[in-house]
Amino acid sequence: ALDSLPAEDPGATATIAAAGGRIKRRGAWRVPRVLKVESAFGRVRLDLSRAIIEYPVVDIELSLGTGNASITVPRDAIVEVEGLTTGWKDLRYKPRQPTRAGAPRIRFSGALGYGRLKIRHAWR
C-alpha cells in the first residue's frame, strides 16, 4: 500500500538511471519534487497521467543519449520546456490551455542527444 511509505522530504530528488534498456514508469507512482532521468541508450517512457503529484511544481531533468523518450503529462498540467536542449531532433510538444487553477506545473530541463522527445497530454 502506498500510504504505508514514509513521508518524503519536500525537497526530495530521485534519479532513474539506465545505461541501456528501457526506463518505464506508469500507473499510480509518486512523483518526486525533482526527478532526474539518465539514459545512455534505450527508450524512456514516463506516464504521469495517473501519477501522484504532491508538489505544485515538478522539475524533470533529462539526460538522454540516443533513443527516444515519450512523456505523458496530466491533461491539465502546465508544461515548460525552455530549459531543454535538444541535439538532433526537435522536441514534439503541443501545448494545451490549462483547464483548472492549481494545475501542476512540470518543468523540463537537461539535454537530449540523438533521440526524439515527445511530450503529450493525457486525454483524460
**Residue ranges per structural domain of the chain:** 24-116
Residue 50 backbone class (left: φ over 0; alpha: ψ -120 to 50; beta: rest): alpha
> The whole model's pTM is what?
0.84
**pLDDT, tens digit (0-9, with 9 covering 90-100), for 75-109:** 999 999 989 988 777 788 988 876 677 889 999 99
The more confidently predicted of residues 60 and 114 is 60
Mean pLDDT, all residues of the chain = 86
Q: What was the pLDDT predicted at 87?
A: 75
Whole-angstrom CA distances from 108 to 35, 38, 79, 96, 119 are 10, 13, 8, 16, 10
- Give me the pLDDT at residue 67, please: 83
Q: What is the pLDDT of residue 57?
A: 95
Distances in whole angstroms, Cα of residue 96 to Cα of each of 16, 45, 66, 72, 85: 27, 21, 28, 13, 21
Q: How many CB atoms lie within 10 A of CB 56?
A: 11
Q: What digits encode the pLDDT tens for the residues 7-16?
A: 555 558 899 8
SS3 63: strand
pLDDT given at position 95? 84
